[in-house]
Amino acid sequence: MKPTLYFLRSSEQKILTDMLHYAMRLDEVNKSLSDLPKLSIYSEFYGYTSKDLGLYALVDNQLAGAIWIRRLNADHGSNGYIDDNTPILNIAVLPEFRDQGIGSQMIEQLFIEAGALYENISVSVVEDSLAVRFYERHGFIRHDNGFVEQSFVDGKKVIALLKKLQKAAVIRPSDGYDPRRWMD
């Protein structure tokens, strides 16, 4: 089942907020975003600046997942922070769509899009999770940022992973791409 990918626009804040719940594993620990206001740095006012870039996936006209990056600064205190020029990645695939390659398709397209803007992307991952292997398969390497980070969600140890992006021409996932269609 191949998803259709769309750019995540600032007007689609609800998609981002809904997906942040899964990106931060809140469904696994029975919490909500209101329990952890610190997580708002990853979604609040998304798309209002050129620092944000994201995609979402639809399967049979149903939201299946989303992926986005935000360039934050040290003052935000975010997990996975490397420097002010390296955006932080968040990805979520709804449980009923997992293990179907949707996350891989989204991340590969995001690499192409982000390569036009950035040299690197970072992500914060619970150290002993299966997600580490997912990111390593997609070219992320462990980054030693000099201190031990803990997850905002459950206090588990998290590690920062870094992906060096390749500069390449942007290739759209569908024919007939019209850039005016994606403008807010």
The residue ranges of every structural domain in the chain are: 4-118
- Tokens 């994201």 belong to which residue? 54
Quick one: pLDDT at residue 184?
42
The confidence band for 183, taking pLDDT boundaries of 50, 70 and 90, is very low
Average pLDDT, the chain: 87
Q: What percent of the chain has pLDDT over 70?
A: 88
Find, among 154, 63, 64, the residue nearest to 104 by Cα.
64
Position 149 confidence tier, pLDDT thresholds 50, 70, 90: confident
At 98, the pLDDT band (50, 70, 90 cuts) reads: very high
**pLDDT tens, residue by residue, 119-132:** 999 999 998 899 99
- The strand pair at 157-164 and 62-70 is best described as unpaired
Average pLDDT over residues 72-90: 89
Range 134-148 average pLDDT: 86
N-term to C-term CA, the chain: 29
Is the pLDDT at 60 greater than 60? The verdict is: yes
pLDDT at 177 over 70: no
User: Is a pLDDT exceeding 80 seen at residue 95?
Assistant: yes
**Regarding the domain delimited by 4-118, which CATH topology (the fold level of the hierarchy) does it fall under?**
Aminopeptidase (3.40.630)
Cα angle 165, 117, 182; round to 5: 120
Least confident of 8-17, 62-71, 92-101: 8-17
Please, are residues 33 and 20 in contact by the beta-carbon 8 Å criterion?
yes
Burial of 133 (0-12, 13-18, 19+ CB in 10 A): exposed
How far apart (Å, rounded) are the C-alpha atoms in residues 126 and 132? Answer: 8
pLDDT > 70? residue 181: no
Integer Cα distance of 45 and 59 in angstroms: 26
Please give the pLDDT value at position 68.
95
* Across 168-180, average pLDDT: 56
What is the average per-residue pLDDT within 95-118?
94
DSSP string across the chain: -PPEEEEPPGGGHHHHHHHHHHHTTHHHHT--GGG-GGGGGGTTTTTSSTTEEEEEEEETTEEEEEEEEE---GGG--TT---TTS-EEEEEE-GGGTTSSHHHHHHHHHHHHHHTT-SEEEEEEETTSTHHHHHHHTT-EEE--SS-EE-TTT--EEEEEEEEPPP-----SSTT--GGGG--
pLDDT of residue 111: 94
